A and B are shown apart, each in its own frame.
Chain A
């Protein structure tokens, strides 16, 4: 059974159709890349999977571990192991990053019927994870994403991902706004998390992220549906030829 099964998904926002019969499976332990031109529905897919309101699913279903998650609140999905690394991480003034991590982690653990982490155990995990991502511990005292550079924000997202140990991590344009060094640090962080028990859905416009996070499979999204699926070499082909043919094909 696939970890994630998206079946004939139709999604509208404000009456405008964005996803148009999208079907896709992500296997356990698989790293799947979704590539596509601007406006093809990449971010919508990420948000719908995470359970953001304002999106109307008019047809189809999303199964996570065989169970439909369409009626689940975002926090319930999170506790089940679904994580979204945001393209534009949100700032929360006055809430220290460390505190945020701990509150969220314990909320998830609680929802799963696990006990809260002890303070020393939590601190140990955060420090280890932060060090590997080259995150200054001082940064964890600052408010969530407030005053963080683009690179710091993305690294902070990967830090959260590391702490929450999701079963499916969705990376929404994690490469956007990153220089090559920052990109490498973030990608290394993701690569460390790869395991047979964890799946990734890497959403990106450009191939360069996939040089660092090498996918098992590449899907091309256009006009709200998957129009082609191939191996990692498909990304290179897209980089060379651009998306023009897929836009025409779908039109």
Chain B
């Protein structure tokens, strides 16, 4: 981990409890009226120029949602959410369609620049070397600002490879057959309270289609930013890897610091056909609230991948450091024979954060395998729960799972919990489960400090070591980013 020193420097530069991405972009926006109703759903749909079938789909979801109740089984505690008190649509005021980056509001570009997100593909293509000597990365980016996508880079180059990468709002218009075929096929409209809400009001997100046999020539990335006050973000991402294709996708998220809570309820659906592979990585850094638990994002996310084809593979890697409340279980349905699901997770909670996260590995096909590596780090007064389900259907002969859940406690006011559910309906299934909970040891910290590291540097080093197995799963440059994030998240945890 050569970046640790860099990490440590980063930590040095910022004050305790300072969320680096907490700035607000001053920009005029167009919002739907506050609250949720059929009219609002129609408003969103019409803003997006959606075809009638899409509107119907949304309305059906909305009607269904009205009959549903918010789930309460997770180990998280928050005041009742008033769903009528949010804005469900907010867009930067600008031309409806953007032909190039030059038409994007400079304020927004500035925002992404501050966040370190490369939108200027020209710069990237020209091989520009920045002042600090680093070369901009070759990653295609879709930037979503509140409810709309503001820019997607590398579209042309991807098009040559046959890869479709665009905002889902555009895909609904340009590729209706693909969207119709796959949308809601992994996470049904009626799946759960938050997913159903998302289905009714989702605003934007990314759509990816990789044709048969194509290895996507670059990393795809979406960057989500919630800017507006009292605005919910409901993004919807749909990724389809056709037979024998491969794609690696990364999402990043940040939001300004605000006293009130903001709502984020995303749905991500992945479909992998025969021999296809999807690698989905998340670096989630929504504003976590202040040290006393004021403000922060409520993050209720449904992510599910369907290994639909034989020998397909879906791999989730997540680094979760933000949000006041996290409710998130990226899952794999292992439908195709010999398919494989993976879940690698680092969940760090500090302050008053509450995390209830994990995965579901649902073995349906024969000889399906899954692997779960979860590293939970609880600091401050946070609560960190791993909740995971591994199940083998009665036809899933030869199903195999390996689960490893490690929790690390920093300080003595936090909590780590592990809630595994295992169900084998097939006698040939083999599930292995390992779990450890440990406290960061004084001996370890003293040893590091005797070598010259401050208490915080020592903690960051030990934690980075603890999560190394998972960090290695991330694409290289995001691993570096994640490492920094880990240190920053642990700011103020040593006291």
For residue B449, CB closer than 8 A to chain A, the reply is yes
Find the B residue at minimum CB distance from A89. Answer: B447
Most buried by B among A89, A94, A116: A94
* Stretch among B55-63, B194-202, B452-460 lining the A interface: B452-460
Chain-B contact segment, one of A35-43, A70-78, A187-195, A213-221: A70-78
Whether the pair B461, A102 counts as a contact (CB closer than 8 A) is no
User: How many whole Å from B70's CB to the nearest CB in chain A?
Assistant: 38
Known: A86-B447, A89-B447, A90-B444. A107 touches B452 (CB 8 A): yes
Determine whether the beta carbon of A107 is less than 8 Å from that of B447.
Answer: no
The total number of A-B Cβ pairs within 8 Å is 95
Known: A90-B444, A107-B8, A116-B5. A95 touches B453 (CB 8 A): no
- Highest count of chain A CB atoms <10 Å: which of B444, B451, B464, B467: B451
Verify if B442 is at the interface (C-beta below 8 Å from A): yes
Is B182's beta carbon under 8 Å from chain A? Answer: no
Residues of A within 8 Å of B462, CB to CB, are: 92, 95
Q: Provide the bound-state CA to CA distance between A111 and B9, in Å.
A: 12
**Beta-carbon nearest neighbor of A106 in chain B:** B5
User: In the complex, which residues of chain B have a beta carbon less than 8 angstroms from the beta carbon of A149?
Assistant: none
Determine the chain A residues whose CB is within 8 A of the CB of B4 once the complex forms. Answer: 99, 103
Contact A74 B465 (CB under 8 A): no
A27–B450 CA distance with the chains assembled, in angstroms: 22
Cβ-defined contact, A164 with B451, below 8 A: yes
Given contacts A93-B465, A93-B466, contact A108 B452 (CB under 8 A): yes
Q: Which residues 1-36 of B sit at the A interface, judged by CB distance below 8 A?
A: 1-2, 4-5, 8
Interface membership of B468, Cβ < 8 A: yes
- Bound CA–CA A53/B458 (angstroms): 15
Determine the interface band of chain B, counting residues with CB < 8 A from chain A.
20 to 34
B155-190 vs A, Cβ < 8 Å mask (1 yes, 0 no): 000000000000000000000000000000000000
Question: B423-444 toward A: CB 8 Å interface, digit per residue (1/0)?
Answer: 0000000000000000001111
Q: Tell me if B469 is interfacial: C-beta within 8 Å of chain A.
A: yes
A18 surroundings in chain B (CB, below 8 A):
none
Bound-state Cα–Cα, A120 to B64, Å: 63
Interface centre among A73, A93, A164, by most chain B C-beta atoms within 10 angstroms, is A93
B446's nearest neighbour on chain A, judged by CB, is: A52
Check A94 against B466 for contact (C-beta < 8 Å). Answer: yes
Instruction: Give the distance in Å from the alpha carbon of A75 to the alpha carbon of B445 in the complex.
Output: 11
Please judge, given known A-B contacts A90-B444, A92-B465, whether A78 and B449 are in contact too, CB under 8 Å. yes
- Which residue of chain B lies nearest to A84 when distances are taken between CB atoms in the complex? B450
**Once the chains are docked, how many angstroms separate the CA of A99 from the CA of B462?**
12
> Please, which residues of chain A bring their CB within 8 A of the CB of B466?
93-94
A225 to B443, CA, bound (A): 26
Question: B451 to A95, Cβ gap below 8 A?
Answer: no
Is A100 part of the binding interface, using a Cβ–Cβ cutoff of 8 Å?
yes
- Point out the residue from B1, B2, B449, B469 that lies within 8 Å of A74, measured CB to CB: B449
- Interface pair A107/B450, CB less than 8 Å apart: no
- Given known pairs A93-B465, A93-B466, A95-B465, the reply for A78 and B450 (CB within 8 Å) is yes
Known: A92-B465, A93-B466, A100-B461. A78 touches B1 (CB 8 A): no
* In the bound complex, CA of A79 to CA of B451 (Å): 8
Asked if residues A94 and B465 are in contact (CB atoms below 8 Å), the reply is yes
Q: Are B443 and A75 in contact (CB under 8 A)?
A: no
Contacts of B441 in A (CB 8 A): 90
Answer yes or no: B214 CB below 8 A from chain A CBs. no
Per the bound structure, the CA–CA distance linking A105 and B451 in Å amounts to 8
B218 contacts chain A at the CB level, 8 A cutoff: no
Write the nearest CB–CB distance from B412 to chain A, whole angstroms.
15
A162 at the interface (CB under 8 A from B): no
User: Smallest Cβ distance from A22 to chain B, in angstroms?
Assistant: 20
- Residue B448 interfacial (CB < 8 Å): yes
Q: Residues 109-128 of chain A: 1 if any B CB is under 8 Å from the residue's CB, otherwise 0? A: 00100001000000000000
List 30 A-B residue pairs with CB atoms under 8 Å apart, sorted by A's residue number.
A50-B446, A53-B442, A73-B454, A74-B446, A74-B449, A75-B454, A78-B452, A83-B450, A86-B447, A90-B446, A92-B448, A92-B465, A94-B464, A95-B461, A95-B468, A96-B1, A99-B2, A99-B4, A100-B451, A100-B461, A103-B4, A103-B453, A103-B457, A104-B452, A105-B452, A106-B5, A107-B8, A107-B451, A107-B453, A164-B451
- Known A74-B446, A90-B447, A92-B465; 7 more pairs at CB < 8 Å: A50-B446, A75-B449, A75-B452, A79-B452, A95-B464, A107-B452, A164-B451
